[in-house]
Amino acid sequence: MSLKNILENWSHYRRAHEDGGHHEYEHMWGMAIDLNKCTGCNACSVACYAENNLPTVGKDRMRKGQGLHWLRMERYWDEPDLGGDEKEYQERGGSFLPMMCQQCNAATCEPVCPVAATYHTPDGLNAQVYNRCIGSRYCSNNCPYRLRYFNFYSYYEESWPEPLNMQLNPDLSVRDKGVMEKCTFCIQRIRTGKDAAQREGREVKDGDVVTACAQTCPTEAIVFGDLLDKDAQVTKLWKAQEVELGKTKQDKSNGELRGYRVLEGLNTDPCVMYMDRVREA
């Protein structure tokens, strides 16, 4: 695609996902997260640290925003609509929202990478190739969710001193300093699930692939699956909430429905649907 073509057809290019996107997708991995069920226990985040070889950076670096938590628990203490400033409501506790890479189908991070280290896979995932990444951090700056994390330091020696290195997941590399990283929807588990299905000579079925966060969630708030599979639980949830992929503006007229995608108005077409928390008014 030439620069002229990009400039002339930019708005069309940014809306291409509405016509089915650029890909013939084999899968479309997606999530449905029920915030009613989420208790904010952070087990998903811990599971992600264990599964994806994430280093603990320490308080000081975390404060500077150099943490490497692919899945972070966002806390909202006040809800102005519900009288968030009043003490009575604050005592009811915060609202929680587990935030991981939304695997946008019209990802804002992809077109800005100067070396094409981030691209869209036929699985509908937003991939990050560590070997190709030069650490320009354009993608992180262009991500409206702030879900991309940069390795400002090397951690493989200090974070896992002997014999802790034995706990590292061998299906995943340990990233070194200077590369961007983010949630992969546990690509290593997807790979294993697909391999197992192929070995048995069948299609991947719902439940073959479960991400670490979804597996760990004690209240089963996180549901993971293939949105192209009509029988998958995640597809049913999306359908029940009338949230559709490839649609920038969802119909919000039905007040009974709780489903929404974060910042979907920015035309990113994320693959993660949240179901709003309902409280006594």
Partner 1 sequence: MFVSNKFLSKRREKGVGQGKVSQSLAMFFLLLASVFVISAAQAEVPNAIPPTVTHSGEDVPQPIEFPHDVHTEENGINCLYCHTYARRSPVAGIPPSSKCMGCHTIIATDKPRIQKLTEYWENNEPILWNKVHDLPDFVHFTHEKHLQRFVFENEGMDVENVSEVCAFCHGDVKKRTVAKKVKPLNMGFCVRCHEANDGPADCWKCHK
Residues at the site binding partner 1, with contacts judged by CB under 8 A: 119, 121-123, 125, 127, 129-132, 170-174, 187-188, 191, 195, 198-199
In the bound state with partner 1, the residue whose beta carbon lies nearer, of 28 and 275, is 28
The rounded distance, in Å, linking the Cα atoms of 113 and 251 is 33
Contact 237, 32 (CB under 8 A): yes
In the bound state with partner 1, the residue whose beta carbon lies nearer, of 114 and 255, is 114
In the bound state with partner 1, the residue whose beta carbon lies nearer, of 23 and 37, is 23
Q: How far is the CB of 10 from partner 1 (least distance, A)?
A: 25
Q: How far is the CB of 124 from partner 1 (least distance, A)?
A: 12
Q: How far is the CB of 280 from partner 1 (least distance, A)?
A: 45
Q: How far is the CB of 69 from partner 1 (least distance, A)?
A: 20
In the bound state with partner 1, the residue whose beta carbon lies nearer, of 64 and 191, is 191
| Strand-by-strand arrangement of the 259-260 sheet | 222-226, 29-34, 272-275, 259-260
Q: How far is the CB of 171 from partner 1 (least distance, A)?
A: 7
In the bound state with partner 1, the residue whose beta carbon lies nearer, of 34 and 181, is 181
Closest CA to 132 of 113, 157, 104, 158: 113
Q: Long-range contacts for 21-27 (Cβ within 8 Å, ≥24 apart)?
A: 21/105, 21/106, 21/246, 22/120, 23/120, 23/122, 23/124, 24/122, 25/122, 25/123, 25/124, 25/228, 26/122, 26/123, 27/122, 27/123, 27/124, 27/204, 27/226, 27/228, 27/229
| Beta strands 272-275; 29-34: pairing state | parallel
